[in-house]
Amino acid sequence: ENWLNQTLELNLIDATAMTLATASSDAIPSARIVLLKSYDDQGFCWYTDSQSQKGREIAANPQASLLFHWRDLSRQVRVQGRVEALTPELAESYFHSRPEGSRFSAAASRQSSVVADRGVLENEVQRLRELYPDGQVPRPERWTGYRLRPLYFEFWQGLVNRMHDRIVYCQSGDGWSTKRISP
């Protein structure tokens, strides 16, 4: 939380961007950047289409890893854990807090599915805008939120001569164990 708050106070570009790594049921990994939308003592939350590649992979294998990389501070944090879906109420609330254009784009897109061309998506956005001229396009059921419940943290602080600090926290019973690992 301290490191994230520092990045936000410094107005670093993409301070809440995190690499989300998932794996298919046959252990083929994939990674992409998503935006952290909230966090608390339960975990780290983001929103996406549950039928996207990441959504399908999470459904088949609910283990994932997050990586925050703040180059300007020479820091990164790796987080591993189990992923769970957020409630439809949370997804609904967040969906309607988004800018209007983002809501229409999310409703029009079936993320990760093949489209003939960009015109298909633009036409669907236009159709939805005509159907909902007040801007209140409903949240598609497939658009949901996820939370990664951490089981492992690694904090990396880059230092001179590659003598970086690496501190690991692992869930241990009702608490956390801590250890330093070599750079």
Residues in the chain: 183
- Mind listing the pLDDT tens digit for each residue in 38-94? 999 999 999 999 999 999 999 999 999 999 999 999 999 999 999 999 999 999 999
User: Where is 131: in which H helix or E strand?
Assistant: helix 118-131
- Mind listing the pLDDT tens digit for each residue in 128-141? 999 999 999 999 99
Q: Give CA–CA dist 32/56, Å, rounded.
A: 14
The b-or-e profile of 141-156 (16+ CB within 10 A means b, else e) is eebbbbbbebbebbbb
What is the reported pLDDT for 80? 98
**β pairing state of 143-157 and 17-23:** unpaired
What is the reported pLDDT for 170? 97
What is the reported pLDDT for 37? 98
How many Cα neighbours within 13 Å face the side chain of 105? 7
- Mind listing the pLDDT tens digit for each residue in 91-110? 999 999 999 999 999 999 99
- Mind listing the pLDDT tens digit for each residue in 17-44? 999 999 999 999 999 999 999 999 999 9
What is the reported pLDDT for 36? 98
Q: Give CA–CA dist 47/124, Å, rounded.
A: 21
